[in-house]
Structure 1
Amino acid sequence: MNIAIAGASGRMGRMLIEHVLATEGVTLSGALDVPGAPALGQDAGLLLGRATGVVITSDIEAALAGADCLIDFTRPEGTLVHLAAARRLGVKVVTGTTGFDDAGRAAIAEAAKHIGVVFSANMSVGVNATFKLLEVAAKLLSSGYDIEVIEAHHRHKVDAPSGTALAMGEVVAKALGRDLKTCGVFAREGHTGPRDPNSIGFATVRGGDIVGDHTVMFAGTGERIEITHKSSSRQSYAEGALRAARFLADKPTGLFDMQDVLGLK
């Protein structure tokens, strides 16, 4: 399977390239980055100390030439441009980009009518196992427990709450028959009044080089249950993304997430 990587010179892009090069059955066929990126024109494996013969380019058509699948962990505006090109060229897409608005999500769903797409806020197998644990916990703790989602990431992350935190909130809300758009509380300041028992609160921490910590707290009277996932490396995201790409091998069209990839639905 031929794989192209978007954001090739970024932290996640380098990790993805490293895993593609180390994985049997997949080949790095393209490396894409934004115009003006310092790494443009360099071999995609330069920062890893090896030659791949694939040059990092800002030309989407060139990066996708010969690719079966594009893996994209960039930003919403870039991902949507890449997605449109992939759709036009018949290239499947795996994306872990977060921060999409409703229009962006609709564009992804529309593209999936023409190409296979895996779209997930988090590609980690462990995080997706956590989603299932949260679903069970929410059903068991549906009454008498206040729910809070706390997440922490590195200083460079540009969206908040994280896509994974929002996905956790959505899993819990769905299990409880609620709509996160109406019950989610994303900021508290000043005199807020007593807590609405039906709300799901979010708290965000940004600092240092934290890869990603997520905790969902079910706070009851006399006890507190916390379900936590902590990432110490982006390796798990890269491994999950490659697993998702292989999942798409026999999927000409359709919108999937990591729950589909892992057979958890």
Structure 2
Amino acid sequence: MPAELSPIEKAKFVSAKRASDFVETGMRVGLGTGSTAAWMVRCLGERVKNDGLKIKGVPTSSRTAALAQSLGIEVVTLDEAKWLDLTIDGADEYDADLSLIKGGGGAHLQEKVVATASDRMIVIADAAKKVDTLGAFPLPLEVIPFGWQTTKTLVEETLVGMDVLGRTTALRMNGDAPFVTDEGNHILDLHLERIGNPRQLSLVMNQIPGVVENGLFIDICDVVVVGHGDGRVEVTDISSGTVEHDSVDLMEHENLFADLG
């Protein structure tokens, strides 16, 4: 592991490395999007190259697709795969029930479709992503461009009746232009500070005309793999109620992905 990597990046790496151990030859695997998921894709690419791992990867964004293909991972569409053995992805926040906020990278629509088409979803994260209550990270809503300002107004009016602390909404930008998702949509970021009832909020937001999907993942994640900068890993399985402690030898992977240093 390159010495100049920060403790946070090392934590992301070890969580991704440990989660990649769940993948076996012959599996159809959902490949997440984001900085932690990129480590996981590189770990799988290394196994494809060195160990002969054979999988079919279903990426959740064009960025992930390009990375996976560059590493020799066979990439197929969800329609081609039909159903997946597991999906491995990051999260912006998660709580004790393994409810998540995702979408910081703007790919939560594809991520949710892929994750719900999987037997299991494994989340990889650093310890800072765990929270007592969701909401400190802005909740993204993917909305169609047509009438987005009207949609924004409807969202703000609806939030008045929700169990949230803040109600500020903002159109996500990419420089001077609105951010555009892979589906050609925009994203509204909801700065809620605290979400008292994530399940209710998710259902209500998706009923607003113009909203395509929100970034709350409820009853989707099965396992969370949390990495630490010193190589320690915690694996929490919500279905079995178990927490396992493991470690990844950082020195063993000193030269792995050295180009990212």
TM band (smaller chain) = 0.3 to 0.5
- Which structure has more strand as a fraction of its residues? 2
Q: TM-score, normalised by structure 2?
A: 0.34
Between Structure 1 and Structure 2, whose CA radius of gyration is higher?
1
Using CA pairs under 8 Å that are at least 6 residues apart, name the structure with larger relative contact order, 1 or 2.
2
Q: TM-score, normalised by structure 1?
A: 0.33
